[in-house]
Structure 1
Amino acid sequence: MMATLGIVVAVAVFLETVSAASLGVVYTEGGMVQGENIRLGFRRHMDVFRGIPFADIPGRFEKPKRHPGWDGIMKTTEYRQRCLQVNLLMSDTRGSEDCLYLNIWVPHGRSVSTDLPVMVWIYGGGFLAGGSMGANFLDNYLYSGQEIADRGDVIVVTLGYRVGTLGFLSTGDSSMPGNYGLWDQQAAIAWVHRNIRSFGGDPDNITIFGESAGGASVSFQTLTPHNKGLFKRAISQSGVALCPWGINKNPRRFAEEIALKVKCPTDENMVACLKMTDPAQLTLAGSLDVSSSPDHPIVTNLLLSPVVDGDFLPDEPYNLFHNAADIDYIAGVNDMDGHVFTALDVPSINSHLVNTPIGDVKRLLASYTKEKGTAGLENAYSTYTSTWGANPNKETIKKTVVEIGTDYIFLVPTQAALYLHASNATTGRTYSYLFSEPNRLGGIGRPYPSWVGADHADDLQYVFGKPFSSPLGYWPRYRDLSGYMIAYWTNFAKTGDPNKGDLKVPATWPKFTTTGHQYLEIHHEMNKNYVRQKMRLRYVHFWTSVLPNLPTVFSE
């Protein structure tokens, strides 16, 4: 009997292997590509393509051009290098100028998939760093699309784009307009729209999503007039076009600083000289000044960012929301998104032993409100200390610093973007969230105090399903949370409604409206009581109404 059973099992395995669903060789506009087919379970396979070129090797400070194509079958089984960028210590460079490639994950059941929704990921990294595969730990890449694709039954695409000096340096005029990294993203989205049907995707159901500078990039892609009809939905995690670091208002000055660092003139010969300069030198010249203090917060040093160029961005972002009128949009933040930044500006917030002086709270607020002078600071200080009482404890003061950074850098601009999206929408739906799962490094004997909530980028591991792919590193509750996020994100990609799709969700997420300002709080224990409204309304009102109406006393 056992022998017979063994033969039956062997035959079943053989038959499944023979009939494994796979796209095989795929025809694209540039030529044929062949990826890798992996088995995920019984009658579940996935095709993975790594390193498909979506554009030619870009010219220095030029928009991307179409790839000339190739002969034969291109093996696309390895990630390509990330775009040239500074390393973490800003002491050297990594990557290559030949970097405009994308990766695709296509899930299959019994038969080869057709007409699947498509989710295109844009990575963050302050417009200075990042790659389509993300950080790598033991060949487990952060931005592997496998878990989202498998669990949500969607195609996942991740793309590369130029960052740092080569992606965003601009003279503020037509000689070097900037926004090259945004054009790269746009070229990748357009390539996906033109080619994804060959991979089993639906070109009329594309969602773009991203985090931090990637979330702001997603926002810019919805606002530019150049993307009409290319995608249907968008998700911005911890970053929108309205963030104070989203637009460089004085690109010429920074371009001249870079020119001087690489020994180029700052006159009419500047651009020609920059184009001939060694790319690694140029990249290093644009590295971030990480020396910060409450008087010079780190966020004010993020100068290699998009610019209003009259082309990709024909106007200030807040005037372009009519372009997103028919795009379904989710945007949200982590409840302590500002922690990693304010910890650089005010290091004492992470110390159990050292008190954070009230003077540091004032200095940070003064930096963020400096255009409005003393009146700005006084209004800000009274707003943020109104709940302190006569004798605030040291934890209250530390948390206030994080709240100020979170509000100014992420939360308030995101609420403003949601409001503008909802008020300009025709068919597009709007959804708001607050991610509040506490940081896993907080607590006694750990690097962070126990009160630290969801820090910047804490959401990424859950969206990309790391608690499933690295189960030993996570408690079961984290798998619950990851399952919820993948369900909301992929339901939204399928239907434009995060509640409707193939996956069950723990709470019905209401639309954000200009009157109710409803949002969903996302957490491992969430239930229907996690639906809330008017996120930090008092503080949003201060930054969007009270402060702008004070007289400006200082402008650059």
Structure 2
Amino acid sequence: MGTHVQMTMIAVACVVSLLAPCLAQDVLVTVQQGTLRGAVVTSVLGTPYISFKGVPYAQPPVGSLRFQAPQPAASWEGVRDALEQSEMCMQPVSGVYHVGSEDCLYLNVHVPMNASGPLPVLAWIPGGGFTNGASSFNGPDFFIEEGVIVVSLQQRVGALGLLSTGDDVVPGNAGMKDIVMALRWVQQNIAAFGGDPDRVTVGGESAGACSTSHLIISPLADGLFRAAILHSGEAVSSWGVGADPAVRAFRLGEALGFSTNDSRELLEFLLAQDAADLVTHDDQLLSPEEEAQLPLLVWMPVIEPDVEGAFITEWPATALKEGRFSRVPVITGFTSGDGLEPVSRKQYLDDAAALQQLSDSFVAAVSPQLHLPTPQQREEAALKLRDFYFGHENITASDAQALVDMLTDLGFGEPVDSTVRVVANHTDAAPVYYYLFDYRGEELGNTTYGTPHATQSSVVFYLQYLPILADPESTFGRLRSTMTRLWTNFIKYETPSPEGEEIVWEPFDNSNLHYLHITDTFELKQNVYKERMDFWHQNIPL
């Protein structure tokens, strides 16, 4: 066991020498709330590490705490077992079923055994469209090899995490505030695990990346991390903030048989409902007009009224343009086929009728997603967008690549590209390392039209739902090794290319427009998808 970790932990039940770790034995560590019992486990690569699972970072958000900001975790007497994965937060499965529990505000802490500390920390937020996700999704195995503590977070999702009445009754963003509470817990307690609270990097994929982007902007999260990593998601995405959130809240009440226009009456009703009923009616919360739009998330972060404890009170683009964001180094990027996710959700490549509906009602489907101030401007821009990507009247299956490209740019590429350009306009901004993930190996599934959504996570994490092990000398094995090293460099040194690193990854600025193109190789290039991004910046500026 590494010297610093052993000295920090109270290893009462695990008496070991520095050369002989005790597998499957208990390890005790004391945090502010009490003493935790973890265990020595083995990674998929055969490396022992110390794991604490199901660690409470907040009180259970049940009863009167439903929909409210989280409260600090309570203390306990004696030793609390942290040996089993907690239940995920209550969430739907296939729309009508549910899994998980309301009592779900727990995190996991995974600690390398043979690294000298204090150790750098990666706190990771799972994806899931703000409706799903769990701390068990992202295996820490590859970062453990590099001497990084991995803290796996989970937070309330769906209605339980993002419902808002648009006023001070339920301001909203409870799930976002859960993440802030978890990061505060890390700051207060990570030193007990041998971690360095001054070297915490926060990150996430998809909705987790969007959440990370919001953390960079939110005053509540200021000072809780020193760097950030984003996999395919930005706060300025069309799905990054929900408009008119109260509409969803009152529709939920109606779906459950209660109609009112009073926020407090609605809250009292929803507090009396079974939690499962609150997460299994999402299919009733979109209007027919919204259903016809490109994939629209039901629950998203919201702009809150300016009340005490608000997570965000202004549009992210405004905050970024006016410099109201944390000056922390960032790795951010997207995949060449991020648009495959909305294409799959709408079944455009499998359902000819769905594709024809998009073709027939393109402006109505696309224009609400465009960040322009008036309906007329959005409709005019949608027509230009259609002409740019398709160039003819009817969209057919032969346009599959153009469709994936358009949806990649709409939901992911343009928001990332615009964000890095806006941030780079601020001379005091910290460096931003921009990438395009474009690996086309079979390990990631069907890459015919691009690298699937957020699959960069399946390279640097051992994902529960996509477990990939590979020969270290294979193409994918070398990709994993190199990406993990670059990401680890960033976590340790705030740059992926410290002195001695063979891959030179220059930060982005608005004169060189550098990005790292990741395929089978790693190549520094300029001006990602120039023609496509130029179109967006000229016609649909942020």
Same fold (TM over 0.5): yes
Matching of residue 453 in structure 1 with residue 450 in structure 2: yes
- CA–CA separation in structure 1 for the residues paired with 2:477 and 2:453: 20
User: What is the correspondence of 1:196-215 to structure 2 with a 5 Å cutoff?
Assistant: 196-215=190-209
Distance of 2:487 and 2:147 partners within structure 1: 11
AA at the equivalent of 1:538: E
Could you report, residue by residue, the CA deviation over 1:367-420 in whole angstroms, capped at 9, with x for unpaired residues? 21253365323321332246x9x999965x210010111110111011111122
Change (3 A) 1:228 1:394: closer
- Alpha-carbon shift at residue 424 of structure 1 (Å): 3.0
Compared CA separation, residues 335 and 20, structure 1 to 2 (3 A): same
Please state how far the C-alpha of 1:175 moved relative to its aligned partner: 0.8
Relative to structure 1, the CA distance from residue 547 to residue 17 in structure 2 (aligned partners, 3 Å threshold; closer, same or farther) is closer
Report how far residue 229 of structure 1 moved.
1.5
Q: 1:402 to 1:32 in 2, by over 3 A?
A: same
After superposition, residues 99-178 of structure 1 pair within 5 angstroms as 99-109=104-114, 113-134=116-137, 143-150=138-145, 152-178=146-172
**Distance in 2 between the 1:293 and 1:488 partners?**
44
Question: Within 2, Cα distance between the matches of 1:316 and 1:126?
Answer: 19
The answer to whether the Cα contact below 8 Å between 1:35 and 1:75 also exists between their aligned partners in 2 is: yes
Question: 1:299 is matched with which residue?
Answer: 295
Distance 1:295 1:144, change over 3 A: closer
Deviation digits for residues 118-168 of structure 1 (CA, Å, limit 9, x no counterpart) = 00000010100110101xxxxxxxx11122122x21110001100001000
Amino acid at match of 2:338: D
Cα distance in structure 2, aligned partners of 1:282 and 1:544? 40
Q: Which runs of 5+ in 2 are unaligned?
A: 1-15, 369-374
**Residue in 2 aligned with 1:376?**
381
- 2:89 is aligned to 83
Matched, 1:533 2:526: yes
1:219 aligns with 2:220: no
Max radius of gyration: which structure?
1
Q: Is the 8 A contact 2:515 2:524 kept in 1?
A: yes
The residue that corresponds to 2:282 in the other structure is 286
1:187 corresponds to which of 177, 181, 185: 181
Is contact 1:50–1:79 with CA below 8 Å preserved after alignment? yes
Say if 1:101 and 1:391 are closer, same or farther in 2 by CA, change over 3 A: closer
**Secondary structure of residue in 2 paired with 1:332:** strand
- Separation in structure 2 between the aligned mates of residue 68 and residue 346 of structure 1, nearest angstrom: 46
CA contact (8 A) 2:355 2:396 kept: no
2-side partners of 1:21 and 1:92: how far apart?
36
Q: Paired residue for 2:98? A: 93
Equivalence map 1:1-80=2 (5 Å): 16-17=19-20, 24-38=27-41, 45-58=48-61, 59-80=65-86
| Structure 1: unaligned runs, 5 residues or longer | 1-12, 135-142, 550-556
Question: 2:315 is matched with which residue?
Answer: 316
**Cα 1:60–1:20, aligned 2, differ >3 Å: closer, same or farther?**
closer
CA distance in 1, matches of 2:475, 2:96: 39
Alpha-carbon offset, residue 430 of structure 1: 0.6
Task: Output the CA distance in 1 between the equivalents of 2:355 and 2:55.
Answer: 53
TM-score normalised according to structure 2 size: 0.85
* Count of aligned pairs: 508
Measured in 2, the distance between the counterparts of 1:167 and 1:531 equals 39
Contact 2:21 2:48 in 1 (8 A): no
Structure 2 counterpart of 1:476, one-letter code: S
CA contact (8 A) 2:43 2:141 kept: no
Let me know the Cα RMSD of the aligned residues.
3.4
Residues 466-522 of structure 1: CA deviation (Å, up to 9, x unaligned): 6997536998211111112211111101111111289x55x3111111222210011
Deviations 1:3-27 (A, max 9, x none): xxxxxxxxxx998337899993111
- 1:19, 1:548 → 2: CA distance? 57
Asked if 2 retains the 8 angstrom alpha-carbon contact of 1:193 and 1:230, the reply is yes
Asked if 2 retains the 8 angstrom alpha-carbon contact of 1:494 and 1:501, the reply is no
Q: In structure 2, give the amino acid aligned to 1:315.
A: E
CA drift at 1:431: 1.0
Shift of 1:272: 1.4
2:474 equivalent among 473, 476, 482: 476
Q: Report whether the alignment pairs 1:508 with 2:491.
A: no
Cα distance in 2 for partners of 1:86, 1:291 equals 20
User: 261-270 vs 478-487, which deviates more?
Assistant: 261-270
- Contact 1:35–1:77 at 8 Å: present in 2 too? yes
* Mapping 1:383-532, distance limit 5 Å: 383-385=388-390, 395=398, 397-424=399-426, 426=428, 428-438=430-440, 440=442, 448=446, 451-465=448-462, 470-471=468-469, 476-500=474-498, 504=501, 507-523=503-519, 525-527=520-522, 530-532=523-525
Q: Is the 8 A contact 2:436 2:518 kept in 1?
A: yes
Classify 1:98/1:24 alpha carbon distance in 2 versus 1 (closer, same or farther; 3 Å).
Answer: same
The alignment's TM-score, normalised by the length of structure 1, stands at: 0.83
2:127 partner SS: coil
Give the whole-Å Cα distance in 1 for the aligned partners of 2:467 and 2:101: 29
Distance 1:464 1:363, change over 3 A: same
In structure 2, what is the Cα distance between the partners aligned to 1:97 and 1:273? Answer: 17
- Give secondary structure in 2 for the equivalent of 1:424: coil
Task: Give 1:427 deviation, angstroms.
Answer: 5.2
Other structure's SS at 1:52 match: strand
Task: Name the CA shift for 1:22/1:543 in 2 (closer, same or farther; >3 Å).
Answer: farther
Q: Distance in 2 between matches of 1:312 and 1:232?
A: 19
Percent identity over the alignment is 28
